[in-house]
Structure 1
């Protein structure tokens, strides 16, 4: 590994690699990935595995149905998860640990911190963390939805150096290689913009839930935290040999030169806003940074219900998303102040309370 100097990496393995025939787990492709993990650990590199495939692994245990209900998929995930963990565990002569997450776990700051501490403790004791979304208990409100984005959130939480997304594609092409013979593989992406998203086609796998778009979303989350991200073909043994030789066999997304701080990154890419406050103009135009980022008298309206410490969206009166931030006060109090702006009592309250959002607890949004 002359070219890549990793200390901690996150590997995301897609469902098509776990259960390529949708009839249970198969070692056909996983053995090569497991050997790669063993060789990385032998070189002192810490590894975290985000493994999809519980639904695909458990589907063969249930009667074939044309349309699978949500409840049926949850049952498949519950049964398939144990089979998948058993498969991974057989490959290693070191211990592994199962961590099942929902978006609700990740977007709650206290639980997010607990997850970080657990992962760090496992790595410190030489245990391989194997992470998957908890499909059995998750709901639409709590669902990440795809393990590409989950792997990026995990990589950020774990302060990883690199995120490797293994699937059934070689990397990002300038056009869909299944439709265009002249499609060109892009070896390196320095920045992610709308033109990069425009290159993303539909999912090429009949097993997984994520396509190229979700992989680019994951790369955007990870690179903004300073994490080098790869999209790689996990079906080819050559992929792993080239990585170990220091070559790039797929597409590499270079990280930000100035990565987001951990707390700001969590607020931007992981936490869901519980409500929103509307201000006039932009953050820079409307805020008094000597007293905090946003004052109560700058709020035009309050939408949704949130409490102290919840993540909220700050937007301008023209609809532009300006920032995500931690609320210092509840929506109830702020709504009262905004609705009674001209009253004497409201003016006294505005003078007595501190900033609605403090400068240290805000993440500016570049995109509207």
Structure 2
């Protein structure tokens, strides 16, 4: 069996924003608890990326393993198995996980717990994304995990590979980085197949590629290669490529910081990202009513792909709530496009014609400087021209 280290490194395209997923197998200590020997180089990679002007959001496993250690440390007896027990362990382990990353990070650290409802409901989706964007703007390391303590089986986001792909889509990441305890995708399970060889690039995850995957390699993990392939499929569907690499190798992690991947690269195209986002925004039904804008705002939206700011709004028709899909019209009633609104109709009426810096003064609070962010807006004339 050859290893990914024997392959020529893949040169990663330049990226600005990434999601880094770190699995339980990299953080769990022998006998339980957490071990930061692999987390240290990964934290250094994050800081190196930030120093280069990039942004990284961390999706970290390890809470359940850390929770088991808390049980032993305080001589507490587990009440049993099942979902409730796992949720209790996750609740106890979240603090040690966060504390580990805080200790290893040169920047402030914040915990973000996401649930199924945060992703499925538009207003909560906007809130989650706004929080993550604000943390990035503040140069804070966001450590994301699923809110296991309140999730039920039928409403779980699933394993953290899937969660990382969802977060990558949520923040419009350029790449998904999966740090694993295996160095690449192989033609077979390298633990049992001596002839298995690493695959440097995957243009598309086909049924044949999926058949190469095995199950979870450890009792502390919830996924395996199959969950990583599914995450790569999810990310690719939003135009986000995925890098799979050995998070146990400090040399591999250091090389990643210089744009060299010793692992497997799952391709995705800009066209995929454009199509997925455009299709979703274009076909999400708008509520009744809408926002009318002046000529300056029309040019900004159509020609510069700018966000809709309150200063360009001249009229608000009908009623809508924060997070609703709202139609945008020119002042004379021509439909220009539609987008997810950061404010409700009553709020937008108060903000119409105001400067963005006055939002908090007018409302007493702020959800951001944009009424509709450019990433949440599809402009119909640009859509018909094949761009947005």
- TM-score by length of structure 1 reads 0.69
CA contact (8 A) 2:187 2:196 kept: yes
> Number of matched residues?
272
Say whether residues 1:151 and 2:164 are aligned partners.
yes
More moved, 14-23 vs 123-132 = 14-23
Q: Give the structure 2 partner of residue 55 of structure 1.
A: 64
C-alpha separation in 1, matches of 2:65 and 2:280: 32
Equivalent residue runs for 1:1-368 within 5 Å: 3-21=12-30, 23-62=32-71, 63=76, 68-259=81-272, 260-262=275-277, 264=279
Structure 1 CA distance for aligned equivalents of residues 200 and 79 of structure 2 = 39
Contact 2:11 2:261 in 1 (8 A): no
Quote the offset at 1:16 in angstroms.
1.1
Tell me by how many angstroms 1:3 deviates: 4.7
Q: Following TM superposition, by how much is the alpha carbon of 1:195 offset from its aligned partner in structure 2, in angstroms?
A: 1.0
Tell me the CA shift for residue 47 of structure 1. 0.5
CA contact (8 A) 2:23 2:62 kept: yes
Please tell me whether the aligned partners of residues 22 and 57 of structure 1 are also in contact (alpha carbons under 8 angstroms).
Answer: no
- 1:230-260 deviation per Cα after TM superposition (whole angstroms, max 9, x unaligned): 1111111121122123222110001135123
Distance of 2:147 and 2:255 partners within structure 1: 33
Q: Pick closer, same or farther for the CA change 1:191–1:141 going to 2, 3 Å.
A: same
After TM superposition, the score normalised by the length of structure 2 is 0.66
Deviation for aligned residue 1:65: 6.0
Cα displacement (A) at 1:12: 0.3
Report if the CA contact (8 A) 1:34-1:91 is conserved. yes
Distance 1:15 1:188 in 2: 25
Confirm or deny: 8 A CA contact 2:159 2:223 kept in the other structure: yes
Deviation at 1:66, TM superposition (A): 11
* Aligned-pair CA distance for 1:92: 1.6
| CA RMSD in angstroms, aligned pairs only | 2.5
Identify if the C-alpha distance between structure 1 residues 215 and 51 changes in structure 2 by more than 3 Å, giving closer, same or farther. same
Task: Describe the SS at the equivalent of 2:144.
Answer: strand
Q: Structure 2 vs 1, CA of residues 181 and 70 (structure 1 numbering), >3 Å: closer, same or farther?
A: same
Q: Tell me, what secondary structure is at the counterpart of 2:261?
A: coil
